[in-house]
Amino acid sequence: MQALEDLDYLAALDNDGNLSEFGIIMSEFPLDPQLSKSILASCEFDCVDEMLTIAAMVTANCFPHLPHGAEEAALMCWKTFLHPEGDHFTLINIYKAYQDITLNSTSEHYVEKWCHDYFLNYSALRMADVIRAELLEIIKRIELPYAEPAFGSKENNLNIKKALLSGYFMQIARDVDGSGNYLILTHKQVAQLHPLSSYSITKKMPEWVLFHQFSVSENNYIRITTAVSPELFMQLVPQYYFSNLPPSESKDILQQVMDRLSPVSTMKQEQTTCEKCPETTEQRCTIQ
């Protein structure tokens, strides 16, 4: 029942409980529904190239692990790839560095040694390369729009967050006391950021984060996190999902944000946007 509810929130089901047209397109991707939704959202937000890299990297489990006995050395190497916007962006940095080494080297042994020196999983990165190529083929086969890479620009950073939120709005947590204790919105579990999160390393804890995975261990960890604003969250989350969130201080804060983003102000913003943007006949995939 939870799985059906999640698919419904993602607009993958119609009123009869069958796959919607949107859900049928999502099912073309051999990925978790949240990732599929984020990829389709990236078509609308002009960040398909970056989202495919993220999808491949998390699917191949390329997030590094601290090797026993070499923690400090691994952290120093990991800092090379850190991105201030969060872990999803850091994974893109890792993949781009791996690609550069691969393209500029004729020796597979050299690439493997580079991965070893930087405490990266060579096999996982190779698998990410394969997965990304397969996802790109699917994009081309079903003729979805594919924008040119723009990683690094402020607009692109925001668009990546929008695409991620479109799929992962059910996986949001808030730092409730300013010391890194994150309360997950959907239930009352409190978790810590993974020690290898870019925010844990830089000691800059954002108040609101989107996370890819929640693992119950000796310490509850949320893994692969990226900072989001409550305003952006409320612009993209389905209202029927928000109305079903359990009562909490976080929900009260989001309600205040929603009250500020009133229909009147939203309508004025849309009218301003339409006046500034020229008409276009280009077909785009629209996120429900």
Tell me the one-letter amino acid at 218.
Answer: E
Pairing of strands 172-175, 190-193: unpaired
Q: What is the pLDDT along the chain (288 residues), one digit of tens a residue?
A: 889 999 999 999 999 999 999 999 999 999 999 999 999 999 999 999 999 999 999 999 998 777 777 778 888 888 899 999 999 999 999 999 999 999 988 789 999 999 999 999 999 999 999 999 999 999 999 999 988 888 989 999 999 999 999 999 999 999 999 889 999 999 888 999 988 899 998 999 999 999 999 887 667 899 999 999 999 999 999 989 999 998 999 999 999 999 988 664 444 444 444 444 444 434 434 444
Tokens of 75: 């952290």
| Encoded amino acid at 145, one letter | P
Contact 34, 167 (CB under 8 A): yes
Residue reference for tokens 């409980």: 17
Phi, psi of 103 (to 5 degrees): -70, -30
pTM tops 0.75? yes
What pLDDT does 57 receive? 97
The per-residue pLDDT for 220 is: 87
Domains of the chain: 2-162 (1.20.120.1080), 169-238+246-261 (no CATH)
Query: Half-sphere exposure (CA, 13 Å, Cβ side) for 128?
Result: 26
DSSP conformational letter for 19? B
User: For strand 172-175 and strand 221-227, is the pairing parallel, antiparallel, or unpaired?
Assistant: unpaired
pLDDT of residue 90: 96
